[in-house]
């Protein structure tokens, strides 16, 4: 049977993740991948989660094996509310929707708020998963500039919003340890953005998967705490617990959470109740506080190791930015070097990265940038990976002169 005539407009627009396509090329175990942004499974405490799973089944009984509320287990929503209060934002469990990973939150928001032809404002460079999700729904992207240390340039963003002939439905951003740049929005810029949201009646979508992976003290207070009526907060347990449970959350005004819950009901009925029960016990039992420092210390050491190696390996004229948290280092190469064109040379040298161009939604994006991830690679391999990458890039720099 031929299916082409049956596909919807949304299906025809849908594009795969370029990063996942690139990672399929990295099958050789001898290749050191600085590309993927997944946590290191070697850091997962298998015994802890085995005991948590058993305890969750005993505490929550057969209900943990059954269908559950679409909005999520009340006990878990209460734990999420308590967690956010600890970060400086007081919310009620009614404001919390449990999602199947924070990516589902992005998808639900798009399906609830966007029609084909609508506009979404986004950081540039920005999270590829959000770019794809919004473009697959037929939305256009209005890029807002960031700098790779302090995040979104709010003054320039306001000027761009003012000049746009069409108002965006919302502004999506990852203000804390951004993917791909690692930037963290300063307190002053957070206040300015909150004021901008109030002045322009602009909905902010704050995606915060990396907030707890902070290398310089506690994570910043959520932007949503300063603009609660204008912000939907998306969180994930994938980085601060384990991604295999596939649990995230969306938090915001009750009216919008109710709409998102209706959309989720038709998508998957509910997120895994057993996973929710395990995470409830994880949070209630103080396991987040027990395990997070070890994870943060491991990732900080890997960041420092890769930064030190890059200082000697990158070609003259390169710039890279030290993130204060998260999983990524953003690199700007000398002009004339095209990271996408050099990707196959890097693969031949048994090292992988993500070309920076894929994090831009517009044509004419710079081609001399790349994203490196240090989270899933041990220190010795990070040093060797930087050496291999530097050899490829320095050779290309010599040829481009």
264 and 219, same structural domain? yes
Share of the chain above pLDDT 70, in %: 97
298 and 254, same structural domain? no
Last residue of a domain, one of 285, 308, 323: 285
**How many separate domains does the chain show?**
2
Domain that holds residue 113: 46-285
Q: Classify 237 as helix, strand or coil.
A: coil
Q: Classify 269 as helix, strand or coil.
A: coil
* pLDDT value of residue 18: 67
301 and 233, same structural domain? no
CATH number for the domain that contains residue 317: 3.90.1150.10
The answer to whether residue 10 sits within a structural domain is no
Q: What is the DSSP string of 38-70?
A: ---GGGS-HHHHHHHHHHHHHHHGGGGGS---T
161 and 24, same structural domain? no
Task: Tell me the two tokens of residue 172.
Answer: 């999506």
252 and 215, same structural domain? yes
54 and 37, same structural domain? no
Minimal CA–CA distance to 302: which of 332, 329, 279? 329
| 132-189 pLDDT tens trace | 999 999 999 999 999 989 999 999 999 999 999 999 999 999 999 999 999 999 999 9
The answer to whether residue 1 sits within a structural domain is no
Last residue of a domain, one of 269, 285, 301: 285
The answer to whether residue 185 sits within a structural domain is yes
302 and 367, same structural domain? yes
The answer to whether residue 85 sits within a structural domain is yes
| Whether residue 13 has pLDDT greater than 90 | no
The answer to whether residue 94 sits within a structural domain is yes
338 and 226, same structural domain? no
361 and 226, same structural domain? no
When the pLDDT of each residue in the chain is averaged and rounded to a whole number, the result is 95
Minimal CA–CA distance to 171: which of 118, 247, 95, 99? 118
Query: Using alpha carbons only, what angle is made at residue 178 by residues 92 and 79, rounded to the nearest 5 degrees?
Result: 20
* pLDDT value of residue 25: 60
What is each CA distance from 253 to 94, 224, 229, in whole angstroms? 9, 11, 6
119 and 241, same structural domain? yes
pLDDT confidence of 399, banded at 50, 70, 90? confident
317 and 237, same structural domain? no
Last residue of a domain, one of 239, 270, 285: 285
What contacts 24+ positions apart, CB below 8 Å, involve 309-313?
309/382, 309/383, 309/385, 309/386, 309/387, 310/372, 310/386, 310/390, 312/390, 313/386, 313/387, 313/389, 313/390, 313/391, 313/394
Q: Whole-prediction pTM value?
A: 0.95
334 and 188, same structural domain? no
Q: How many residues does the chain have?
A: 401
The answer to whether residue 82 sits within a structural domain is yes
* pLDDT value of residue 6: 87
CATH number for the domain that contains residue 214: 3.40.640.10
């Amino acid at each position: 049977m031929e299916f082409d005539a049956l596909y919807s407009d949304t299906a025809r627009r849908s594009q795969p993740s370029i990063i996942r396509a690139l990672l399929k090329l990295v099958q050789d175990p001898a290749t050191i991948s600085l590309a993927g942004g997944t946590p290191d499974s070697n850091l997962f405490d298998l015994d802890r989660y085995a005991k948590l799973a058993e305890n969750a089944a005993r505490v929550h009984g057969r209900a943990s094996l059954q269908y559950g509320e679409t909005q999520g287990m009340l006990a878990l929503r209460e734990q999420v509310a308590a967690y956010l209060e600890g970060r400086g934002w007081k919310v009620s469990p009614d404001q919390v929707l449990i999602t199947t990973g924070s990516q589902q939150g992005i998808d639900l928001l798009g399906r609830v708020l966007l029609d084909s032809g609508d506009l979404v404002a986004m950081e540039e460079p920005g999270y590829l998963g959000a770019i794809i999700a919004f473009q697959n729904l037929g939305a256009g992207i209005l890029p807002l500039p960031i700098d790779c240390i302090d995040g979104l340039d709010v003054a320039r963003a306001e000027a761009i919003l003012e000049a746009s002939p069409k108002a965006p439905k919302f502004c999506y951003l990852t203000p804390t340890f951004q993917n791909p740049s690692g930037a963290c929005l300063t307190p002053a810029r957070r206040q300015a953005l909150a004021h901008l949201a109030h002045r322009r009646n602009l909905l902010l979508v704050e995606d915060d998967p990396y907030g707890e992976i902070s290398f310089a003290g506690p994570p910043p207070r959520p932007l949503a705490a300063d603009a609660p009526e204008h912000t939907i907060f998306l969180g994930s347990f994938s980085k601060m617990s384990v991604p295999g449970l596939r649990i995230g959350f969306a938090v915001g005004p009750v009216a919008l959470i109710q709409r998102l819950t209706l959309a989720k009901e038709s998508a998957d009925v509910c997120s895994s109740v057993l996973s929710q029960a395990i995470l409830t016990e994880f949070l209630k039992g103080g396991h987040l506080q027990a395990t997070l420092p070890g994870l943060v210390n491991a990732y900080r050491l890997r960041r420092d190791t890769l930064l030190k190696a890059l200082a000697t390996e990158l070609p003259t004229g390169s710039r890279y930015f030290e993130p204060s948290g998260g999983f990524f280092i953003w690199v700007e190469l000398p002009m004339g070097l095209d990271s996408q064109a050099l990707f196959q040379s890097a693969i031949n040298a048994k090292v992988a990265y993500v070309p920076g161009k894929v994090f831009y939604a517009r044509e004419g994006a710079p081609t001399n940038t790349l994203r490196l991830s240090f989270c899933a690679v041990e220190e010795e391999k990070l040093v060797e990976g930087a050496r291999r990458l530097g050899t490829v890039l320095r050779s290309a720099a010599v040829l481009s002169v």
